Amino acid sequence: MLLNQFLILGAVLFSVGVYGVLARRNGVMVLMSIELMLNAVNINLVVFGVQHGVVSGQVFALFVIAVAAAEVGVGLAIVLLLYRNRTSIDVEDFDLMRG
Amino acid sequence: MEALLAFSRPALDWHALAPELTLLAFGTLITVVDIIWDDRSKRAMPTLAGIGLLASLLPILTLAVDGSERTMFGGAYVVDDFSLVLKALFLISGYVVILMSVDYIRDGDYYENEYYTLMLTSLLGMVMMSSSRDLISVFVALELLSIPAYMLAAWRKGGARSNEAGLKYYLMGVFASAVMLYGMSLVYGLAGSTAFEAIAQELGSGESNPVAILGILFILIGFAFKVSAVPFHTWAPDTYEGAPTPVTAFLAVASKTAGMVALIQLVFVAFPGRDDVVQPFFWLIAALTMTIGNLIALRQNNIVRLLAYSGVAQGGFMLVPFAVAADAPARAIEAVVIYMAIYAFMNLGAFTVVLAVARKTRSGEIDSYGGLFQYAPGLAVAMTIFLAALAGIPPAGGWFAKFGLFRALLDAGGGWAAGLGVVVAVNTVIAFAYYARILVQMWFQSVPDGDERPIAIPGSLKAALAVTIIATMAFGVLPGLVGHFGEVSVLSALGG
Amino acid sequence: MWMLENAFLIPLIPAISFVVILFFGKRFIGADRVHVVGITALGLVWVLSAVAAFQWTQRVENPPPDAIVQVQHHGDDHGDDHGDDHGDDHGDDHAAASGHSGDGHGDGHGGGHSSPLIRPVISTFSDWWSNAGVTFAVGTFVDGQTVLLLMVVASISLLVHIYSTEYVKGDRRYVHYYAFLSLFTAAMLFFVMAQNIIQLIVGWELVGVCSFALIGHWWEEKPNTDAALKAFLTNRVGDVGLLVGMIVLWGTFKTFDIDVINTLISTNPGAHHFALLVAACCLMAAVASKSGQFPLHTWLPDAMAGPTPVSALIHAATMVVAGVYMIARLYPVFYEGFSIGTSSINLMAFIGGFTALIGAGLAFAQWDIKKVLAYSTVSQLGYMVMALGVGAWTAAIFHLFTHAFFKACLFLGAGSVSHAAHHTFDMRKMGGLRKDMPHTYRTFVISSLALAGIFPFAGFWSKDEILLGSLVGQENGYPLMLIFGCAVALMTAAYMTRVIWYTFHGEYRGHGHPHESPKVMTVPLWILAGMAVLAGAFNLPGPVLEPIGLEGLAHRIQTYAEPSVYLNGLGLSHPDPSLNMALVGLALALSGILITYLYYWRRLGLHGLTERNRYARRGYTILENKYYLDHLYNDVVVETVKRPLAKWANRFNQNVLDRTVNTAGETARDVGRWVYKWIDQGAIDGSVNAAARGADSSGEGLRSIQSGKVQNYGQLLFGAAAVLAIVFVIVV
Amino acid sequence: MEVTGFDTWVLSLAVFLPLVGALVIMLIPKVYETELKLVALGSSLVALVVGIYIAIQFDYGAAGDLQFVVDKGWIDVINSRYIVGLDGLSLPLLLLSLVVVPLCLIYSWNHIPDPGNPKAFFVLLLILSTGMNGSFVAQDMILFFVFFEIVLLPMYFLIGVWGGEDRRYASLKFFLYTLFGSALMIISFLALFFLSKDASGELLQTFDMRVLTDAAGVGIIKSTQVWIFAGLFMGFGIKVPMFPFHTWLPDAHTQAPTVGSVILAAVLLKLGTYGFVRIAIPFLPEGAIAWAPWIGLLAVIGIIYGALGCLAQKDMKRLIAFSSVAHMGFVMLGIATLTDFGINAAVFGMIAHGLITGMLFFVAGSVKERYHTLEISRLGGLLKSAPRMGWILGFASMASLGLPGLAGFWGEFPAILSAYNPGAGLSEELFRVYMVIAAIGTVLAAGYLLWLYQRTAFGEPTEEFAGHEIADVNRDEWIAWTPFLIGIVLFGVWPNLIFNVTDDVVSGITASVEAIAAGN
């Protein structure tokens, strides 16, 4: 099967996600990028699972999806909180504490 | 349909799971109680949470007495002495944190019940972490302990700093766990299984495979983030400063310990054969963490921030034994476990004093400690003991922790180990330089604002202080106590 | 022989009196009556010393069997005495020793009167200290040399105690004064009966401290304390030599016991020559500092800042001879080290002779009477050292003996003078005192004659032996030393005459009315003067006594005091008395007096010295038109003696030696300051602090990582991860 | 000697009684000042009595063996045990530390230095005392390490709280130096633990000093020994302190309160030299032989250097502090020779230096208290304004410059003497050069001490203080000082009191070193 292609897809997705996290300044976009990374992982897991012919990979993927949902929930809550207090979701603005 | 019904429940060892279940039960209980009588229940909450923790200690004791090693879910979840020791440690430190929180949370009129629920949930994650021997369970445990922690960090929802702390912790956390997951996926891909034993067999075999190295590194980095090792520590100071102080204590002790536990299992159970990657990696990380953490700490003026960096440096000390994981595994594990145990108490103690003092001075600046010895000699002496312990000066406990490191290093022997030993020695000195700044303020300076009214310390804080002081001194004078736990945990962790 | 075994009592008594005076003096005895304690103690000491001396003579005259070292069974005997100290090679001990001792008798002191070799009385008391399981005892070592010194110290110290009751009456620190006199006496006695070289060191240092304390007795005035410090520090410099030298001895013989060391050398001469040379040179430094030998003598004149009786006791009669005493005590070391037996010039002899010369020269340049006497002491000590250097052991000790008395007498006389003349020592403020203080005058003159070496005064005999010794030497003579000796003999007579002139003749140039000192001061003077006359009788050469049929009494000091038990082994020989040498010496002394006399009394003096009052009358007229007389006689005396030698010596002394000593201290301090400022605070401490600052600032720098921007954190995290990944993938 | 009944715990008693006293005091409220002072003095005195009992019971015939040994389990995990015991080497030092503390308490009875607070002051002194006593009797390396470290914090606070103007800097410096040293020391201890083998080549894996002494480093190859010794050298050398690690000492001494300086000089510095004699040399003979020339070199440098430092000082106390560097130089020279003479002299030197320099610091403290300055140029005429104190200062100076008949001499002379032919095949030429340099050091010692004395005691008081009434030695001072003065004279007159006790132990040590040296 096309193992390498899937892996490359995963890698590309992951990289895009990383870029998004590090470059985008909009908090929501950052969250989305993280989702991208997680999904890259999922692709890997599923593909490897298929390749090895074991189910555990897909199970792992399911866990990841579930956890990701929870994470994003918390993330959005925090972003909302910040927006309420600071009327901004630009992650660059939040540097009260440094040094 | 058939498939659905075909599901057969895996065999559960209820005794082994009792601690987790008890925690879970109390977590939900708190929520339920809160729903039933909301405001009237506030006072009961901390008590309830405390009882919950103590209650879940009981099965741990019975299990310890029983002593047999119990494995479940195809080796994904193991209850052995090692895990028991650490579960106990988590629960006790959690209990101390709750003692610290009571008045803080109440006075700040934040949500109380949710606070304790989350605290218990996070602890549940840690307790699970110490038993996980499988990528999936490790991952789940990690997230279970992290997600509530994100919320706790942002607890003061009105406070901009608290929000920011939460945000930073959250973003970095999930980013790190994403990286870690990617590593896990690669490792899984090579091993074809998520169980540690299997991974050990697959990856353990000699020749180096770039993908494997990448996977291992990413996983390790994920947890290096958790234990705030340089250069993955950046979130820690900001989060510690911004988060509510009890939460900071919780993060600095419990969640860091959890990360260490995960690392122990990964390094000694999952990647025992890969010392070519593991040892240099940790040598580098440990040296960096100690040194940079200490150096930056020299320049801090906010005590919480100073303790944060000191915590980073302490984490570096804890990472030292991993650098000789393969050469002296037994001593290494022992050293880490002992260090974690002692560190938990001395650091919690320090934070407790900070809380108590802050009740009067309402400030986190080091200068605000001026003349503490004059108006609150008790607190000053307590703080002195904790700082001495952190600096590793007998008879306060810390010396034995440091001793463990040196012991592991020299047992491994060789130039690299000795070199790291010297790095440790130098860092001990640097570390005392900034601990001394607090001592100087407390003992040598006069009170900045001449008010010398003694500090009223609420009972719960007194209790927390008592526990931590007694533990710290006991570990220092009779290190055998903690040493024993270190020993038993070694045997089981190495499958002995 | 009881006294000889229990000699430790002798130093013990003054030690006790020190404690009593210091701690109970003021309260229980009364500040003005403490001298009673001291004098009583010294009286006791004197009696005991006398007993010891008598018992020693008995031991020599009819020795108990165990005291004799049979020349024939020399080696074996020692074998018994000193156990395994040198258990080997008895055979050649035997031969060598007996041979030497044989000819030692042959040309020994005229009458061929042979004395058996008497072993000293050594008694040890307790385990003083111990090392490597070996314990080292403290004990006493009594032989003729010891008892001789005991007598000298006891007598003079006693007289000084008595004399001081008047001299320092009403002093602000009367108690301390007597306390330290006692302590000094104790230390000195302890030193002379030292059984091992450690004890030598101890006594040596203790007397030094007492001298420090007594020189600085009037410490309110800075000059006094400076003098005290100078004395102590100069002696410390010498003590380096002492320590090292003694250590070398220990390293060579692995024992501290003086008797063993001496025996080992004398029974096996020639062994470890080099080690002995090193030891001897080091010890010479110590001698130079303690006994005021060139070039470390400069402290001695300054030491005159102390009270005069102290100068008499410490800086003339006793402490300053400690060096000489040590050489005599460890004579085999020096004899072998400097190979005195074979050479015709050696370090010790030269230093001694040279010191004698410059000392005498300097005595001319002084106006302070005590300084004249101080330089005279330097010069006479040089004599003794020179004598030891040429192998004339007995002569040296004999001279030490006689010199102690007449020099003490001179100092006390000077003290009495200043007591009369308003506490000045400047001879220009004196003059014509002989009428006012006849006793002082007479005693002073007697001792001066003794010092000048005029027949039949004590100095004549001892100085004669020294000159004789350097003439004959051992295997070959010491011509240079002889020349030095003769020159000094002449100069000594000369400067003493000068002193007498300025002090007692002419007319009184001071103010006030001088008066004779009370009996308590003059009686000691007379006693000492008496000794200055008679002391010579203790070692008269045989020929002198033959006419009166007393040759049995000849060479008493040589017989009793000389440790032949060691010296014979070295083959030390004694020159036969020579009339010519005696005459030459006498002639030199007389001519010295004569020239000076001419210088001050004009040529009429040539008629002789018998009718005093006439020359006195001349004296006044001389003073009226002094100028052209000076001009006249400068050509004769000053140009030949004073200018060249004295002035040069003085300049050298003041500008070179003295300045070196002083500037040494200054430079040490400057070096100290420099090192402290630059090395200690600068380099060492600085580097440490710099490291600390470095840590601090690097911490500051690292803080910039913590930008507070979450995305920078992320970049750092992922960047680090990537870098690590790449590195490991490549490396591993 | 089999230990029975009371004797099994006398040592622990002597060690921990002061600590008990400290705990009791902590419970007494501040206001009962006299009571807590009494408790402090009482506990330290009882400890002293126990010490005297020990000294009486001590079997001097077997001074070479450990006596009153107690061997109980402590940290089984790392096989470290609670082993205490004392032999001829420990006994004098233990007594010294037992004697010094109560005297310091008495001295500070009525004048606690600013900012007062006798409670804390006495508590710290007592904790300090426990640490010092323990270090001298501990026979297990870990136990030794713990006691060795316990003294740090109390001294840190004594200097930092009750010290002079520059106290923060001084105290921190003192602490960091020592901490660094002891960190390296513990590394070396562990290396010994893991590497030591017994004669049959079995790994010992013990911290028991007795065992390691017997093992005498067999089975540890030379290069390793040298490295381990280096660690110990840092640990102990900084404590001594040896050039060039000495710079903490003058600051600490100058800033510390009087009794702080006294204890520092009298006991704390001895921990370092004691460590060399007790641990470094017997455990690692080959390392010792390899290091000896360098130690000797640093020692003689220290001698000259400390003296020069003294000559430069303008402050009396700082001068005395620098003189410590010189004196410890003699001690270290003695140790470096690896001979009985040398090491015996070193031990004697420790005691003598403790008494003499302690005495000098006492006087300096009292002078400071009366004149409110220690600037030498401003002092003067002490003999006139306070004769007795002047006398004591003179006496102590004389003792300090190594006057025979007083204690100082017996620390110096045999040390110099031992350098004439060093043991264990060390280069004679080299050490003879050291010997001469050291001997010259004695001259400088006389120089700075007498100059000090001349400038402070002799002459007339400076007009600044001419009018003032300067009180002479008072009762407390007499009580505190007399034992020192007696000790200085007693040991000076009859040195065997100490040599006799230490000799056996020292002979044992040197014997093993010689054996090793002969072996290769």
Distance, in Å, from the CA atom of D246 to the CA atom of C141, rounded to the nearest integer, reads 46
Distance, in Å, from the CA atom of B307 to the CA atom of B302, rounded to the nearest integer, reads 9
Q: Which helix (H) or strand (E) holds B306?
A: helix B303-319
| Backbone phi, psi, residue B365, to 5° | -70, 145
Residues of chain C in contact with residue D495, where contact means CB-CB under 8 angstroms, are 128-129
Q: Which residues of C23-33 are buried (b: 16+ CB within 10 A; e: fewer)?
A: eebeeebeeee
Does any CB of chain C come closer than 8 Å to the CB of residue A29? Answer: no
Distance, in Å, from the CA atom of C72 to the CA atom of C99, rounded to the nearest integer, reads 9
Q: Cβ distance C162 to C520 under 8 Å?
A: yes
For helices B113-129 and B256-265, give the axis angle rounded to 10 degrees. Answer: 20
Check residue C534 and give left, alpha or beta (phi > 0: left; psi -120 to 50: alpha): alpha
Does any CB of chain B come closer than 8 Å to the CB of residue A65? Answer: no
Q: What is the pTM of this model?
A: 0.87
Q: Which of D125, D139, D119 is closest to D11 using CA atoms? A: D139
The DSSP output letter for D375 is B
Distance, in Å, from the CA atom of D340 to the CA atom of D509, rounded to the nearest integer, reads 9
Å between C685 CA and nearest CA of chain B: 17
pLDDT at C83: 38
In chain B, whose CA is at the least distance from the CA of A42? Answer: B185
Q: Which of D216, D176, D193, D173 is closest to D514 using CA atoms? A: D216
Contacts of D61 (CB under 8 A, 6+ apart): none
pLDDT at D232: 92
pLDDT at D135: 93
Question: Tens digits of per-residue pLDDT, D136-158?
Answer: 999 999 999 999 999 988 999 99
- What residues form DSSP beta bridges with B195? B134
Band the pLDDT of C622: cuts 50, 70, 90. Answer: very low
Q: 3-state SS string over chain A? A: CCHHHHHHHHHHHHHHHHHHHHHCCEHHHHHHHHHHHHHHHHHHHHHHHHHHCCCHHHHHHHHHHHHHHHHHHHHHHHHHHHHHHHCCCEHHHCCCCCC
Question: Tens digits of per-residue pLDDT, C103-120?
Answer: 333 333 333 345 578 888
Distance, in Å, from the CA atom of B136 to the CA atom of C90, rounded to the nearest integer, reads 97
Q: How far is CA B64 from the centre of its chain?
A: 22
Query: How close are the terminal C-alpha atoms of chain B, in Å?
Result: 45
Structure tokens at A66: 């579930």
Q: Assess whether pLDDT exceeds 90 at residue B465.
A: yes
Asked if C710 lies within 8 A of A94 by C-beta distance, the reply is yes
Asked if C130 lies within 8 A of D500 by C-beta distance, the reply is yes
Write down the residue that tokens 């003295």 correspond to.
C658
Residues of chain D in contact with residue B429, where contact means CB-CB under 8 angstroms, are 176, 179-180, 183
Scanning C453-578, the segments in alpha helix (DSSP H) are: 458-472, 479-504, 519-534, 542-545, 556-561, 564-570
Write down the residue that tokens 């301390």 correspond to.
C176
pLDDT at B371: 84
Structure tokens at C436: 């006012």
Amino acid found at C591: S
Band the pLDDT of C77: cuts 50, 70, 90. Answer: very low
Strands, DSSP E only, in D76-146? 80-86
Neighbours of B71 (CB within 10 A): 15
Distance, in Å, from the CA atom of C239 to the CA atom of C203, rounded to the nearest integer, reads 12
Q: How many degrees, rounded to 5, is the angle at CA C480 between CA C476 and CA C481?
A: 85
pLDDT at B491: 63
Contacts of D496 (CB under 8 A, 6+ apart): C126, C127, C128, C129, C130, C135
For helices D428-456 and C659-674, give the axis angle rounded to 10 degrees. Answer: 100
Q: Which of B422, B400, B394 is closest to B409 using CA atoms? A: B422
DSSP C352-378: HHHHHHHHHHHHHH--BHHHHHHHHHH
Query: D204: helix, coil or strand?
Result: coil
Distance, in Å, from the CA atom of B387 to the CA atom of B496, rounded to the nearest integer, reads 36
Å between C667 CA and nearest CA of chain A: 53
The mean-pLDDT minimum among A37-51, B190-204, C468-482, C608-622 falls in C608-622
The mean-pLDDT minimum among C32-36, C318-322, D262-266 falls in C32-36
Asked if A21 lies within 8 A of C714 by C-beta distance, the reply is yes
Instruction: Look at chain D and count its residues.
Output: 520
Q: Cβ distance C39 to C71 under 8 Å?
A: no
Residues of chain B in contact with residue D190, where contact means CB-CB under 8 angstroms, are 403, 406-407, 410
Q: Cβ distance D439 to D418 under 8 Å?
A: no
Scanning C107-143, the segments in alpha helix (DSSP H) are: 109-112
Distance, in Å, from the CA atom of D349 to the CA atom of D413, rounded to the nearest integer, reads 10
Share of chain D above pLDDT 70, in %: 99
Please check whether residue B407 lies inside any domain of the structure: yes
Question: Tens digits of per-residue pLDDT, B60-80?
Answer: 999 988 878 888 888 888 888
Report, as an integer, the average pLDDT of B406-434.
88
Q: Assess whether pLDDT exceeds 70 at residue B223.
A: yes
Residues of chain C in contact with residue A97, where contact means CB-CB under 8 angstroms, are 708
User: Which pairing describes strands D80-86 and B77-79: parallel, antiparallel, or unpaired?
Assistant: unpaired
Closest partner CB to B480 (pick from D77, D152, D153): D77
Chain A interface, best mutation among B137, B144, B185, by max A CB count within 10 A: B185
For helices D285-312 and D316-336, give the axis angle rounded to 10 degrees. Answer: 160
Q: Which of D275, D457, D262, D285 is closest to D376 using CA atoms? A: D457
Report, as an integer, the average pLDDT of B325-342.
89
Does any CB of chain C come closer than 8 Å to the CB of residue A63? Answer: no
Query: How close are the terminal C-alpha atoms of chain D, in Å?
Result: 35
Closest partner CB to B182 (pick from A14, A48, A49): A14
Structure tokens at C64: 């108990």
Q: Assess whether pLDDT exceeds 70 at residue B205.
A: no
Q: Assess whether pLDDT exceeds 50 at residue C21.
A: yes
Q: How many beta-carbon pairs under 8 angstroms link B with D? A: 93
Please tell me the total count of domains within chain B: 1
Q: Assess whether pLDDT exceeds 80 at residue C624.
A: no
Q: Which of C453, C322, C474 is closest to C400 using CA atoms? A: C322
Query: C60: helix, coil or strand?
Result: helix
Distance, in Å, from the CA atom of C95 to the CA atom of A5, rounded to the nearest integer, reads 112
DSSP B14-31: HHHHHHHHHHHHHHHHHH
Distance, in Å, from the CA atom of B1 to the CA atom of C705, rounded to the nearest integer, reads 58
pLDDT at C639: 46
Query: D339: helix, coil or strand?
Result: coil
Domain boundaries, chain D: 286-520
- What residues form DSSP beta bridges with C121? C142
The DSSP output letter for C88 is S
Q: Assess whether pLDDT exceeds 60 at residue D289.
A: yes
Q: Assess whether pLDDT exceeds 50 at residue C88.
A: no
Q: What is the CATH number of domain A3-91?
A: 1.10.287.3510
For helices D7-27 and D90-107, give the axis angle rounded to 10 degrees. Answer: 20
Report, as an integer, the average pLDDT of D425-437.
90
Q: How far is CA A68 from the centre of its chain?
A: 8
Which ipTM was obtained for this model? 0.83
Asked if C717 lies within 8 A of B234 by C-beta distance, the reply is yes
Residues of chain B in contact with residue C728, where contact means CB-CB under 8 angstroms, are 213, 217, 277, 280-281
Distance, in Å, from the CA atom of C60 to the CA atom of C114, rounded to the nearest integer, reads 11
Å between D184 CA and nearest CA of chain B: 6
Closest partner CB to B135 (pick from A60, A75, A95): A60
Residues of chain C in contact with residue D170, where contact means CB-CB under 8 angstroms, are none
Please check whether residue B328 lies inside any domain of the structure: yes
Report, as an integer, the average pLDDT of C598-610.
50
Distance, in Å, from the CA atom of B149 to the CA atom of B363, rounded to the nearest integer, reads 24
Is there contact between C and D if contact means ≥3 C-beta pairs under 8 Å? Answer: yes
Question: Tens digits of per-residue pLDDT, D441-498?
Answer: 888 888 888 888 888 888 888 877 777 778 888 888 999 999 999 999 999 989 988 9
DSSP C389-430: HTT-HHHHHHHHHHHHHHHHHHHHHHHHHHHHTTT--BGGG-
Q: Assess whether pLDDT exceeds 70 at residue C608.
A: no
pLDDT at C602: 54
Query: D206: helix, coil or strand?
Result: coil
Please check whether residue B383 lies inside any domain of the structure: yes
pLDDT at C605: 43
pLDDT at B493: 60
- What residues form DSSP beta bridges with C138? C126
Share of chain C above pLDDT 90, in %: 8
pLDDT at C115: 59
pLDDT at B75: 81
Å between D121 CA and nearest CA of chain B: 12
Q: Which of C52, C94, C91 is closest to C73 using CA atoms? A: C94
In chain D, whose CA is at the least distance from the CA of B377? Answer: D120
pLDDT at C423: 73
Report, as an integer, the average pLDDT of D278-294.
91
Does any CB of chain D come closer than 8 Å to the CB of residue B429? Answer: yes
Q: 3-state SS string over D234-286? A: HHHHHHCCCCCCCCHHHHHHHHCCHHHHHHHHHHHHHHHHHHHHHHHHHHCHH
Q: Cβ distance D364 to D446 under 8 Å?
A: no
Q: Chains with 3 or more CB pairs closer than 8 angstroms to A? A: B, C
Residues of chain B in contact with residue A51, where contact means CB-CB under 8 angstroms, are 189
Structure tokens at C63: 């020795």
The mean-pLDDT minimum among B471-475, B484-488, C216-220 falls in B484-488
Question: Tens digits of per-residue pLDDT, C260-282?
Answer: 888 888 888 778 888 889 999 99
Does any CB of chain A come closer than 8 Å to the CB of residue C718? Answer: yes
In chain A, whose CA is at the least distance from the CA of B141? Answer: A67
pLDDT at D520: 63
Asked if A95 lies within 8 A of C703 by C-beta distance, the reply is no
In chain A, whose CA is at the least distance from the CA of C709? Answer: A95
Asked if D308 lies within 8 A of C665 by C-beta distance, the reply is no
Closest partner CB to B429 (pick from D73, D179, D193): D179
Query: D333: helix, coil or strand?
Result: helix
Å between C281 CA and nearest CA of chain D: 14
Higher per-residue pLDDT: C22 or B124: B124
Most distant CA pair in chain D, distance: 77
Provide the domain limits for residue B340.
Answer: 274-496
Share of chain A above pLDDT 90, in %: 54
